[in-house]
């Protein structure tokens, strides 16, 4: 198989793979038996084939490459792609395109678009992404394999309760489309009462129930259930999280309070789709090891203070890092109607091949065969200052709006601030904003309350994701404000502002 993949034209390899994918059970068996190195050969072959196809057929990308004076004839290897192709992002590529979204789509063709999704947006500006049924069918197969590996959904009668935010946001609607291939899905959205009512009324008709949602919502659901004496342990319930990071202690908390046997997370973004990476039994095993073994943690993740989320990532993406350790994503499916091409999400992290992960573990006397023949992806956080809160991004620009739209704040702060998300001792997520006050001003409870009120009002206006969150969780969305006397502000000023 490796020789066939190496020497056959990429278009023919893709045609064979697509035919196999039509029978899920056969494709899953075929995929799980593939050698990890064969998968990497396949990934690299797809990358070069799809890149050249996209470079010639996407109007906006053709202009982008022409402006950057890229000679496509010189892009023959993976190294050429990494070294000679410029990165794209929202600012230098997406927002520079024509007003018509088709400028960023294959052939500039409106008829290839089957669905639009949007990112949370900040400073009042949304970003829309086009998807096609053909690319989603591959995502559906990949997610199904991941759900099978974690929860055996093909062999167990399973009800999936979709607690992600519904509507035009990428996660809820796309998760429903993907997950419903092998199990019934009920789309409650993040509604605690409806989820518990659904479990009570039809939960006993299923061998297992999988509840999905953002980590803060899952925690809120479990706590609320316990407060109303909901009999969690009467049902076989597991949780699928996504949207933001959590420590292993959070996973332990949810398992203890709900009796859930498995809690697994996934990584995705509107820019690259919901399937950027999946937690598996193997990734959780490794992540837990690194929390106990500092040498192993450093060898895998470098000098990161917090333990990053660890995933295995699917065939539809080629991922590498730049010199700043920012993750760069390229969509390699030919069917992707609006592909990400060497796209910088500004997430800090790295990749580890299947083979290298085994070598590193073996060096620490740990031998383990991984179930999925896929490489590993770890994500530590953002490079450009924003933080995730309730799965939506809160940007430094949003906090600047809070300052400069409100005279009360602008007149009392220097403009220096830090933006963080914190977990309380009870694992509740809190948005924390720390401000430096002007000279001769002192922190006070009255001033903190004023900042909190004004920041909440402004964030609702300038950040669509925060507005949705605030409507849903009310007071829990209000930021925790910390005010520092001018001379006691604990962060040293730098030439370039650091916000988080």
pLDDT of 425:
87
**How far is 52 from 413, CA to CA, in rounded Å?**
51
**How far is 392 from 434, CA to CA, in rounded Å?**
20
- Three-class SS state of 141: helix
pLDDT of 122:
46
For the chain, the 3-state helix, strand and coil shares in percent, each to the nearest 5, are 45, 20, 30
Contact (Cβ atoms closer than 8 angstroms) between residue 394 and residue 419: yes
Of 229, 235, 185, nearest to 205 by C-alpha is 235
Calculate mean pLDDT across residues 473-477.
92
Neighbours of 477 (CB within 10 A): 22
**How far is 87 from 252, CA to CA, in rounded Å?**
39
pLDDT of 496:
37
b/e for 26-40, b at 16 or more Cβ within 10 A? ebbeebeebebebbb
Calculate mean pLDDT across residues 111-137.
77
- The per-residue DSSP string of 285-316 comes to HHHHHHHH-HHHHHHHH-S-SSPPEEEE--TT
Calculate mean pLDDT across residues 259-274.
90
Question: Domain 392-488: which topology?
Answer: GMP Synthetase; Chain A, domain 3 (3.30.300)
Minimum mean pLDDT range among 102-111, 169-178, 357-366: 169-178
**How far is 431 from 445, CA to CA, in rounded Å?**
18
CATH classification for the domain delimited by 133-383, as one of 3.40.50.1820, 3.40.50.300, 3.30.450.20, 3.40.50.12780: 3.40.50.12780
- Three-class SS state of 319: strand
Residue with the larger pLDDT of the pair 7 and 341: 341
Calculate mean pLDDT across residues 415-432.
90
pTM, two decimal places = 0.84
Average pLDDT, the chain: 90
Using a pLDDT cut of 70, give the percent of the chain over it.
95
**How far is 308 from 302, CA to CA, in rounded Å?**
11
**How far is 397 from 449, CA to CA, in rounded Å?**
21
Contact (Cβ atoms closer than 8 angstroms) between residue 342 and residue 85: yes
Minimum mean pLDDT range among 21-25, 192-196, 323-327, 330-334: 21-25
Torsions phi, psi for 378 (to 5 deg): -120, 145
In the predicted model, is pLDDT for residue 121 greater than 60?
Answer: no
Tell me where in the chain the CATH 3.30.300.30 domain(s) lie: 392-488
Contact (Cβ atoms closer than 8 angstroms) between residue 27 and residue 315: no
In the predicted model, is pLDDT for residue 102 greater than 90?
Answer: yes
pLDDT of 495:
34
In the predicted model, is pLDDT for residue 123 greater than 60?
Answer: no
Calculate mean pLDDT across residues 432-446.
94
Contact (Cβ atoms closer than 8 angstroms) between residue 47 and residue 318: yes
**How far is 341 from 272, CA to CA, in rounded Å?**
10
Contact (Cβ atoms closer than 8 angstroms) between residue 432 and residue 421: yes
Calculate mean pLDDT across residues 392-410.
88
Contact (Cβ atoms closer than 8 angstroms) between residue 410 and residue 437: no
pLDDT of 494:
45
Tokens of 205: 């008709």
Render pLDDT for 155-168 as a digit per residue (tens, 0 to 9).
Answer: 999 999 999 988 76
Tell me where in the chain the CATH 3.40.50.12780 domain(s) lie: 133-383
pLDDT of 167:
73
In the predicted model, is pLDDT for residue 497 greater than 60?
Answer: no
Contact (Cβ atoms closer than 8 angstroms) between residue 368 and residue 282: yes
Calculate mean pLDDT across residues 47-57.
96
b/e for 193-209, b at 16 or more Cβ within 10 A? eebbebbeeebeebebb
Residue with the larger pLDDT of the pair 102 and 397: 102
Of 137, 400, 90, 111, nearest to 269 by C-alpha is 90
pLDDT of 124:
47
In the predicted model, is pLDDT for residue 385 greater than 80?
Answer: no
In the predicted model, is pLDDT for residue 388 greater than 80?
Answer: yes
């Amino acid at each position: 198989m490796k020789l066939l993949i190496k020497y056959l034209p990429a278009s023919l390899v893709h045609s064979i793979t697509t035919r196999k994918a039509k029978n899920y059970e056969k494709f899953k068996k075929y995929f799980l038996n593939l050698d990890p190195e064969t998968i990497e050969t396949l990934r690299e072959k797809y990358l070069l084939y799809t890149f050249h196809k996209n470079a010639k057929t996407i109007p906006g990308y053709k202009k982008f490459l022409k402006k950057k004076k890229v000679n496509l004839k010189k892009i023959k290897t993976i190294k050429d792609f990494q070294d000679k192709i410029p990165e794209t992002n929202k600012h230098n590529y997406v927002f520079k395109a024509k007003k018509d979204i088709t400028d960023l789509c294959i052939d500039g063709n409106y008829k290839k678009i089957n669905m639009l999704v949007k990112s949370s947006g900040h400073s009042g500006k949304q970003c829309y992404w086009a998807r096609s049924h053909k690319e989603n069918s591959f995502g559906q197969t990949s997610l199904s394999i991941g759900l099978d590996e974690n929860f055996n959904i093909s062999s167990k009668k399973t009800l999936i309760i979709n607690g992600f935010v519904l509507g035009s946001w990428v996660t809820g609607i796309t998760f429903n489309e993907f997950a419903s291939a092998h199990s019934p899905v009920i789309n409650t959205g993040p509604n605690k009462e409806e989820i518990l009512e659904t479990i009570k009324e039809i939960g006993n008709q299923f061998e297992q129930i999988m509840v999905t949602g953002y980590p803060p919502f899952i925690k809120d659901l479990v706590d609320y259930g316990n407060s109303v004496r909901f009999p969690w342990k009467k049902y076989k319930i597991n949780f699928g999280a996504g949207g933001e990071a959590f420590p292993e202690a959070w996973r332990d908390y949810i398992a203890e309070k709900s009796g859930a046997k498995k809690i697994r997370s996934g990584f995705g973004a509107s820019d690259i789709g919901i399937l950027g990476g999946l937690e598996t039994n193997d990734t959780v095993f490794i992540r837990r090891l690194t929390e106990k073994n500092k040498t192993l943690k450093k060898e895998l993740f470098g000098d990161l203070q917090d333990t990053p989320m660890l995933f295995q990532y699917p065939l539809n993406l080629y991922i590498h890092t730049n010199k700043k350790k920012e993750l760069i994503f390229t969509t390699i499916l030919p069917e992707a109607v609006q592909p990400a091409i060497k796209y910088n999400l500004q997430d800090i992290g790295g990749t580890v091949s299947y083979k290298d992960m085994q070598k590193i573990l073996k060096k620490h006397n740990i031998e383990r065969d991984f179930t999925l023949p896929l490489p590993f992806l770890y994500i530590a956080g953002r490079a450009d200052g924003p933080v995730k809160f309730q799965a939506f991004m809160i940007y430094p620009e949003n906090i600047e709006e809070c300052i400069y739209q409100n005279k009360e704040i602008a007149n009392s702060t220097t403009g220096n601030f830090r933006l963080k998300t914190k977990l309380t001792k009870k694992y509740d997520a809190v948005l924390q904003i720390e401000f430096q006050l002007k000279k001769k001003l002192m922190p006070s409870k009255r001033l903190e309350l004023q900042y909190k009120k004004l920041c909440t009002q402004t964030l609702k206006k300038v950040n669509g994701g925060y507005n949705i969150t605030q409507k849903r969780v009310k007071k829990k969305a209000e930021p925790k404000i910390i005010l520092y006397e001018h001379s006691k502000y604990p962060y040293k000023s730098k030439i370039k502002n650091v916000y988080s």
